[in-house]
A and B are shown apart, each in its own frame.
Chain A
């Protein structure tokens, strides 16, 4: 594959940015890297960053796959609300944990299947196809909770959000596990290659024998599943489901994380781990702004600034002016070649 430029140098900006943000936090708050063990669970600002960043990181894992096929999934926030609503309502009705988990994950899978079918079979633009569920999804979640903020007391479900496994908080464990499974699925098999192929050119990859409808449905289903897991974590964390606000605007954070991670919005190239790094960069910035005593109001502006800088670095226009290492391609967008004019327009 020509697009996967080799070498670790390509990933340097993301890791560098994460380290820089963490160091900035440390300068502002000398105890930033301090980690202590208490009641069998790790505590500390660094752990907090990873723990709080878990839902967006989970969304970013699914979103990366979707964006790699040149799509986007706007419905992940609404899917989080649905899965959280299902989990809280069923727990309140007295169902056991296995049934609750199965049902809320199934809800996420179903949402993903709906999105996937719209994109793959009906060939609707991804932004629009997923807009439907983004609009209707919150309505469905409110339908499930009947407009209430459903709370529960089940310690089994709450464990997913607040518990720990081998001293590591559960959200982090779940994120790492899902990241590992996803990476194994796409990188140890040809699946990743096919996803990239669909993202580069859907028609040609279909011509080359890639079953594009199945690939597309699969990535949206996976994205729905990731969103459902994120929704479960958020619900378990606050021990309740708020259909109106759970996951609100998180789809934008997830897209931001993927873009900061260097995955091109034009499809065809993706980095799973880098997307998670992107999510951590965003969370570390949020934490840093809080720690620094700046008003949290600046949060959005800083986020937008980072987004613009990353985009500028990827912009085809800007990379023309920058010195580029030999053999490496410009980050991000591959400029479409100018169509050859057969008529000979040149004088």
Chain B
């Protein structure tokens, strides 16, 4: 192992380039340098699907507990996202009953259907509206507030807290301002959660907060609060961006849209959308021992970045990966990750956005169109999606 070279160093790729147009860069890296230290990010990029999966599936070598990130500072706590082993498992399973298919089917799906009706009702017809801002974000915030057990939080509060936590957790420059904002969000969330805890104690329901608080052997209250926060930080952007991405894909591929409407295969459209532009594009893992990847020695203490955005475009697994194509026979994407940290919200996302929202939206607005796809802007390196979606609802 010591004889192996370390991965080459790139000093040209900038975070701006990765934010604006990452896919051409990843295509080049998959072909030329699938294991690459990227100076601007300070991480070793892994851009092949097999390597991303290997890292996520091997937590004994690749730890989620990287102390050098601003996440702990932003959340004022060590959340389950950054834990390993039994400790992570105990905290994850504490919340899991609220996110399992049985609960979704009995509680969240019927509620989501009603919410979707309300949110679609208020969209104005006949004019161009930003669907991303008016629908994708707010509906993601609303259902999440219910699932987490804090329905008293407004959509605006949920969206503000989520963004404040994300900006704080991504504040790798350790600037003061993002932490001022995330501290403020923490104060608001703590106050609301204190009241919500009392409510679910008095009237238990099937929300995440309630099942954690009322468990036979509850995890510490500090961790209940921390993990509700990680779900706020990590539960809005992804369904929001997934919905906007899929709607964009379907509106720009009318033949595919027609076929989905004919066959009802909205699930395939959902899977293809999250493959095509994965809402979470990259994840970090701390290397606990020297390990070889593609002939390179990855030294202990290094931080690798699995680029699932790139894994989902790996030519070894996907034909014409750059195209939105719901007709793929196989779609082994890694948009929900793999291993112990596989997305806890995957079932919810599939059974709300995938199984309910898409069909309801296109049924309500069968003539919906995207007058100018060219003005849709895509942004993001860690998280990615359209930041606007001006559609005409007809």
| Interaction A to B | no
Task: Name A's B-contacting residues (CB within 8 A).
Answer: none
